[in-house]
Amino acid sequence: MTDRLGGPEGPRGGDAAGSSPGPHEPPASRPETARPQIATAGPAAPDAHAAGAGAGTEKGTEKGTAAGPRRRLGPSPVLATAFLLPAVVLLGALVIYPIVYSLFRSLYDASGDGFVGAGNYAAIFSDPATLTTIRNNLIWVVFAPATVTVLGLIFAVLTERIRWATAFKLVVFMPMAVSLMASGVIFRLVYEQDPDRGVANAVLTSVGDVFGASGGYPDARPRENEQSPVTADQGAVATRRPVQPGQAVLVPLVGVKPGDLADAATARPAAPPGPGEIAGTVWVDFTQGGGGQVNQVDGTEKGLAGMTVEAVRDGQVRATAVTGDDGAFRLTGLAPGDYVVRLPQSNFEAPFNGLTWLGPTLITPAIIGAFVWVWAGFAMVMISAGLSAIPRDALEAARIDGAGEWQVFRRITVPLLSPVLLVVFVTMIINTLKVFDLVFVIAPGSVQPQANVIALEMWRVSFGGGGDQGLGSALAIFLLVLVLPFMILNIRRFRRDNQ
Amino acid sequence: MTTSSAIGAPPRGVLGRLADRVGGGVLQAVLVLIGVFWLVPTLGLFVVSLRQETANNSSGWWTAFTKPAEFTLKNYADLLASGFTASFWNTVLITVPATLLVIGIAAMAAYAFAWMDFPGRDALFLVVVGLLVVPIQIALIPIARLYGALGVFGSIPGVVLFHVAFGLPFAIFLLRNFFVGIPGSLLEAARIDGAGEWKIFATVVFPLAKPAIASLGIFQFLWVWNDLLVALVFANTENQPMTKALQSQMRQFGTNVDILAPGAFLSLIIPLILFFAFQRYFVQGMLAGSVK
């Protein structure tokens, strides 16, 4: 099913590590194991055991009176067939027959007429597009199940001592009820590139702004002519001629968008510098509506506030200043000599605009993020149930012996939880192998080739315009082969628990 | 006072207790933060669905709280006028029968597995256990052909049957495990009273299994309601459920958030209500299917 349906699979994978639910259901092959009814129906064994004993009784009766025309108690195999028939027909026609059909279909070409043998399988492992899907599924399997399980464990442990744990659990668990389609829409909104619309980038950029962001005039640059007193120098802007302390400097820039200057104050020439000082103005040397003189601070021109200005001598920064609202700055404490006044590159870097979540590089991690959001609650609830089953005295004993909380957690809690952790982990592996909806919905059409996974590629080549049901069948069989180990694991666990 | 706290007490002076309290505060703060982190995406969808289109295009939804004038129900009104209601009813028409059928068919089979004896019973049940993890992709192509031949391709019954078939393994597994836990003496008593298997099934086992059936029902309902892939392949445009209707809007993402957001919210509100109402059974089902 879709990996949402993995929900169901969750529990299914579950029995992989889970204990037998019907503890004493006697296997038909060994009816004698069920015979000692008295032993199994002891006082320590409540309902379930009594049930097992009941089954045993029945069987005994049945065997004993098999020769008679009809057993007095217990149903006949004919009746059993009637009870089973609808399920068997549906499973046979819609699940088992398709497996066989796909197996054969995968050996034929797109039209279904030409036998190609293993050709479709060879195509899976040679076509770069399908190889990308395999690589992506591998990334999914490596990162998603571990992240979900670890987060679930952390949440389960942290909420143990919190009074409002139920509220927390409901909130984290809630995405389980939401369709992956809707989750996809939710995360498309979260991952919007524009920090004014996508909440992920809004958070990132505001954090970026707190931790020393740039002044933010990425377009400002000097005029490219000999008359300009400043020139571009490897991304920075520097004075053309050396400057001595006591001189005034003009740093006229152009190219700033009017929109960026909406809040800027009018530029003013700096007050004359004192001894050991260099003063000057950084401003936009462009008068709105024309007029004004080049390389002169005219009445209406705007100052560039917050620009970092350095006085550099022999390649070393000797003084630093930041321009005020009017664009004026004052470099102080300078020894006599020749200086270059420089506006370092950081002034001209574009402000951090967030990450391109939905671009080719980050798309898979971004979708895994959504997957974790959906499934962490499942892991948390499963592990919480496991935690509550851990005997308190084992933990207490360790604490009395002087073990720290961390030691108790690592040496006792985690090992005792390992069956549950395995269940969650295996369930998540199965879900990641089948992941479809989230990738389909979150990845924009243009990056779907980069985000593609096997389940999605199977749909795409068979129904989504690919038109090759031979390759599609091969991909479906490939997917089945990938989950086969877990199928075998389930069956073996179940048999062992029911022996 | 237990020994452990008596031993633990002396080294924990005022400072120790203070550290504990600060630690507890930090823990609470961290958990609040995580909770917010988990809540914000859905909250965002909800707010976007209630904001004017122009407002959504020009600023983030989180700014809306300071500008209540931007809130509107127009998006929902437009959505309902656009024929989205048809896909809502399709979802209902697919989900309700698929859930009821799975419960009925699986309960019968589970009863046979738990309380009847027939040759090959355990082998057959192992097949059911094996089918638990079969990916539905395996059946898409063959069933599409089969439905084409039968003339049900694109129709609601076709979608329902597919969901029933793939819901059965888990349903049989869950119910059978519950049924074997029912005291055999109850069944014996009914048999001695002369009740037939159908009567025992309907009047003894089925009523006793209500919690398990509730668990199964809520699970199956959610999977079918939330399914996209099956609908994508087997439902035509006329019979498409909400998930498929929404998916067809995704291509223009960015220009139609005013349709997508309320649509997505409508599609998730009913599962969410059910989830909150029946979450006890949901969790029980989850645990019963795995660690017991």
- Nearest-angstrom CA–CA distance, B288 and A385: 11
pLDDT at B139: 96
pLDDT tens by residue, B183-220: 888 888 888 888 888 888 888 888 899 999 999 999 99
Percent of the residues in chain B that have a pLDDT greater than 90, as a whole number: 49
Contact between chains at B227 and A172 (C-beta distance less than 8 A): no
**Which of B117, B122, B128 is the closest to A59 by Cβ?**
B117
Whole-number Å distance between alpha carbons of B160 and A40: 42
pLDDT tens for A320-337 read 888 888 888 988 888 888
Mean pLDDT of A425-438: 94
β-pairing verdict for A236-239 and A340-343: antiparallel
Inter-chain CB pairs, A–B, below 8 Å: 419
A55/B115 touch (CB, cutoff 8 Å), yes or no: yes
Q: How far is A466 from chain B (nearest CA, A)?
A: 13
Give me the percent of chain A exceeding a pLDDT of 90. 34
Q: What integer is the mean pLDDT of A197-221?
A: 74
pLDDT of residue B63: 84
Secondary structure element (H or E) that encloses residue A187, with its range = helix A180-190
DSSP per residue, A106-146: TTB-TTS-SB-TTHHHHHHHH-HHHHHHHHHHHHHHHHHHH
pLDDT in tens, A27-78: 333 333 333 333 333 333 333 333 333 333 343 333 333 333 333 345 677 8
B131-156: per-residue pLDDT in tens?
A: 999 999 999 999 999 999 999 999 99
- Whether chain A has a CB inside 8 Å of the CB on B281: the answer is no
Q: Which is more confident, A77 or B271?
A: B271
Q: Specify which residues A254 forms β-bridges with.
A: A221
What per-residue confidence (pLDDT) applies to B147? 95
* C-alpha to C-alpha distance for A387 and B244, rounded to whole angstroms: 39
Nearest CA in chain A to B63: A196
The structure tokens listed for A283 are: 């401003």
Distances (CA, A) of A185 to A377, B39, B238, B257: 19, 15, 23, 9
pLDDT at B172: 95
Please tell me if residue B290 touches chain A, with a CB cutoff of 8 Å: yes
pLDDT given for residue A461 in this prediction: 94
In A, which residues are within 8 Å of B183 by CB distance? Answer: 47, 50-51, 54
pTM score, whole prediction: 0.76
Tens-digit pLDDT profile for residues A262-303: 777 888 888 888 888 888 888 888 877 777 778 888 878 888
- Give the nearest chain A residue to B128 (CA atoms): A91
Q: Does the CB of B130 have a partner CB in chain A at under 8 Å?
A: yes
pLDDT tens per residue, range B61-103: 888 888 877 788 888 988 888 888 999 999 999 999 999 999 9
Band of residue A14 on the pLDDT scale cut at 50, 70, 90: very low
pLDDT over threshold 80, residue B292: no
Chain A contact for B233, CB < 8 A? yes
Distances (CA, A) of A259 to A219, A221, A262, A280, A474: 12, 16, 5, 25, 57
Q: For residue A353, what pLDDT is reported?
A: 74
Question: Is the CB of residue B142 less than 8 Å away from at least one CB of chain A?
Answer: yes
Specify the long-range contacts of residues B189-196, CB closer than 8 Å, at least 24 apart.
B191/A73, B191/A74, B192/A73
Chain A residues whose CB is inside 8 A of the B215 CB are none
Q: Is it the case that residue A389 has pLDDT exceeding 50?
A: yes
How does pLDDT run across A114-167, given as a tens digit for each residue? 899 899 999 999 999 999 999 999 999 999 999 999 999 999 998 887 888 889
pLDDT on residue A35: 31
The pLDDT-based confidence of B39 (bands split at 50, 70, 90) is: very high
Angle, vertex CA A312, rays to CA A310 and CA A314, nearest 5: 165
Q: Are B241 and B90 in contact (CB under 8 A)?
A: yes
On chain B, the residues whose CB falls within 8 A of the CB of A373 are 38, 41
Q: Contact, A419 vs A382, CB < 8 A?
A: no
B154-181: b (≥16 Cβ within 10 Å) or e: bbbebbbbbbbbbbbbbbbbbbbbbbbb
The Cα angle at residue A201 between residues B56 and B69, in degrees rounded to 5: 25
Substitution target from B2, B42, B84, B137 for chain A, most A beta carbons within 10 A: B137
Span B6-27, average pLDDT: 62
* Amino acid identity for residue A330 in this structure: R
- B60, A400: Cβ pair inside 8 Å? no
Partner-chain contact A11 B34, CB within 8 Å = no
What lies within 8 Å, CB to CB, of B270 at 6+ separation is B225
- Please report, as a single letter, which amino acid is at residue B123: A
